[in-house]
Structure 1
Amino acid sequence: MNIYCCKKSALATLLAVVVLLVSGCGIRAVDTSYGRTRDQSINGTGTLVELFKAQGHTVRTAVRLSDELAGWADVIVRISPYPGPPEKAEGDWYFHWLSQIGERQMIYVARDYDALADYWQEVRDQLPKGGDQELRARAEKLRAEAAKGDGQEGSRPKEVARPEEWFAVNTSKDPGTTCKSLEGFWSQGIDPDRVRLPRHETLKVESESVLLEGDEKPLVIDWTLFNDSRVLVAANGSFLLNGALLNPARRPLAMRAVQWVGDEPLNVAFVEGRYLLNDAPAAPSVFALLKIWPFGWVVAQLMILGLVACLARAPRLGRPRPEPPSGEDRPVAHPEAIGALLARIGQAGDARALLETYRRWRYPSSQTRVGPTPASPLPLASVDSTEKPFQPESLTHE
């Protein structure tokens, strides 16, 4: 498989972008996630993976630095998500892996490049010269907007690996520029005007070999360890990422990085992600807001109100209170209740008759008589409508 086979797919992608431009879509329509092998991002590494496979290598992707990875991989490719040297713990792992067994190889690419600006540049160049000028102007505007944010987006680690074991960079606060000249072994046959290689941070060189320079600034270096393990470092991924390879002039540089590991089929591991040795940091606790003014007072009051609401709905603890007596243990309670009800509706005679019947049943030996018998109840008309409400207790005679 030749590296130039990606030209057709790149042109197809550009045609799709033209449709997006016509429909008014902006930069958000382009996937720019960084360093992933399986994403269709312009900052991804899927094309580089295919180049390694085309050379006969076996390629896998890893998101953790493990013993299994250390035993399997002959080559590790790290497209770092942050600028400069690797984080200290990560760098120590790589150095131990390189030193443990000889003739291992590693390619480390610092993050100092975003392919979005070059992507829109390529879109603009692919538009017909006599085509819609408004469309060309829109592509140029998107390219300019992307160029303002080009470069280092990933935050640097708090502690980086030692320069004696790895490398150091010449940091720059100036915006990136395009190399006017290229030097070094890798620059043979490369036209600087066509390749338009960007340069921002460059590599510091001591005993390392320089493979590529831009305007006499080191961009690609390599060195060999005591056990014949080797390391290749690129200052940025401007000739390795998917979007960067839309420019055909950069593809020979990508091929030279692939050929750097040799012709023998090897196991190549692409390591991606930021947290390779530890888990990602947990989400901040809500209690952290208590330390931020004035959110601390607001959060404290909301927490107190929430606690009060929870306590109000919580079940009450302790011994349950006894229910009020229902009178079920007193047989007389039933007729008394019926008598009181009949008295309220003006049927006092019927009430007395019922109570008398109850007494005869309850006390059959008693000869006490109170009120008329059930056989001769008092007529309702004889009841004084002005009398007081019926009181069952006044009829009780023991």
Structure 2
Amino acid sequence: MARFRHLHWLFLLLISTVVSGCSENAEILPTVYGKRSGTAGSSVNGTRALSEMFKEAGFSVRSYGVVSPRMLRSDIIVWFPTDFNGPDEDLRNAILNWMEAGEARTFVIVGRDFDASIRYWSEVIETVDADKKLDAMRQRSLAIEDFDQLRNYQTAKSDYYFYQTDRATPQRVVKNLSGPWAEEIDASKTRIELNSKMIPATYDSIYEEYDEEDENAPPFYMIEDQEVLLAGDGEPIAVWMGSEYSDSQIILINNGSFLLNLPLVNPEHRKLAGKLINECDLYYETESVAFLETDGAVRVLNADESTDGNTGWEWLSKWPLNLVGLQMAWWLIVLCFALYPIFGRPKRLPAAETSDFKKHVEAVGDLLQATDDHGYAQLRLQQYHQVMKGDAVYRRSKTRRTDGN
């Protein structure tokens, strides 16, 4: 855990951007769930803090909105689904094939059954002044309502192949932790909430509908065993699934109550997040982490549909632009080189001559024209001729007129 000791400043900076001024104006509290990139990454429900911990541990991190061939070249995939649905058949098959095709690959699923904005407003209520407490209570009620509406779209019990969920349970805060991850963790300082039960799949439940000769059957040796990495009051919170015949693994986590941005302010939660990262580091030079950021159903692209490697110039290869597009692009490039660049040393332009009388005459003419007074211009011209001929010159009197003279 020593390699994460320098992250305190990071979390303080990250969360300060989230909660700064939120008690003054509840409208600016960012609550977008499961994102690490963009402005949504600073949400109380974001994953930027966790991704920074992966970076601190030496991994390269990228975000993806779909399952593409480029994403499947990663060593670790972390998925925070934005709804309560687990992996469907397409995603399940893509993940199993990805695990089978490489070595030491890890797929992390973090359940949705938690909302950090509710915790945030609960803490605000206890700290704000009396005149602001009513507004904080209203915001907390709205957050609970939004979360309950999202949960109500799901059935009480669901089966997602790797695990089952049972949401017909009361909300509870874990008091006792057990399992390998619980070592050196002070459970009294954690605040892990459970709103549903996560029931990991067994070997029999995964493969009961297949036989070994079925071409559509998943790899039988990929998921044979399971181990509870972290349990709360006897209920599994984090579960490892894998096999002694494969180096790849799946890690199931009930919810993000200790992995999202706001919960990671807690030092004990950061220790648990560090244990997750250590579990993903299988000492096979795993280097890349993909955060799968989805909204609703997950799109799985094959090589033909993937946009990987696009340069933005593909429109030049489409008819009818392909007939003239390349030629036009070539001539535009030549024109740009001809008009805009300066090759060699820049020239020094000749300095303007201030003794050129012609320029003086032109300047005086421009000034007289600007007055838009023909009589005044004629008078000034007449004075000029008189001076040049030596005649009497109209001079302004030095005597100042006063009233009554």
Report TM bin, short chain.
Answer: 0.5 to 0.7
**Corresponding position of 1:277:** 299
Shift of 1:78: 0.9
**Corresponding position of 1:103:** 104
Using a 3 Å threshold, how does the CA distance of structure 1 residues 183 and 85 change in structure 2: closer, same or farther? same
Superposition CA RMSD, Å: 2.9
Shift of 1:176: 2.1
- Answering whether residue 41 of structure 2 is matched by residue 35 of structure 1, we say no
Q: Percent identity?
A: 26
**Corresponding position of 1:4:** 8
Using a 3 Å threshold, how does the CA distance of structure 1 residues 180 and 147 change in structure 2: closer, same or farther? farther
- Helix, strand or coil for the counterpart of 2:271? helix
User: Which structure 2 residues correspond to residues 94-243 of structure 1 after superposition, within 5 A?
Assistant: 94-124=95-125, 127=127, 132-136=129-133, 138-150=135-147, 153=150, 163=161, 166-169=162-165, 171-205=166-200, 206=202, 207-225=225-243, 226-243=245-262
Shift of 1:106: 1.3
Q: 2:68 aligns with which of 66, 69, 82?
A: 66
**Corresponding position of 1:90:** 91
- Answering whether residue 53 of structure 2 is matched by residue 51 of structure 1, we say yes
For residues 88-139 of structure 1, give each alpha carbon's deviation from its aligned partner in whole angstroms, at most 9, with x where no partner exists: 21111111111122321111112111111112234345x3xxx723334543
Shift of 1:7: 4.1
Distance in 1, matches of 2:107 and 2:267, equals 25
Which TM-score applies when normalising by structure 2?
A: 0.58
For residues 150-193 of structure 1, give each alpha carbon's deviation from its aligned partner in whole angstroms, at most 9, with x where no partner exists: 46827559xx8763xx2222x12344221222222222233333
Which TM-score applies when normalising by structure 1?
A: 0.59
- Helix, strand or coil for the counterpart of 1:173? coil
Q: Which sections of structure 1, spanning at least 5 residues, go unmatched?
A: 21-25, 280-398
For residues 181-212 of structure 1, give each alpha carbon's deviation from its aligned partner in whole angstroms, at most 9, with x where no partner exists: 22222222333333121101222144410011
Whose Rg is larger?
1
- Helix, strand or coil for the counterpart of 2:23? helix
Distance in 2, matches of 1:267 and 1:242, equals 21
Shift of 1:12: 5.5
Distance in 2, matches of 1:53 and 1:134, equals 42
- Helix, strand or coil for the counterpart of 1:249? helix
Q: AA paired with 2:21? A: A
Q: Which sections of structure 2, spanning at least 5 residues, go unmatched?
A: 203-224, 302-405
Distance in 1, matches of 2:271 and 2:188, equals 15
| Preserved CA contact (<8 Å) 1:4 1:251 | no
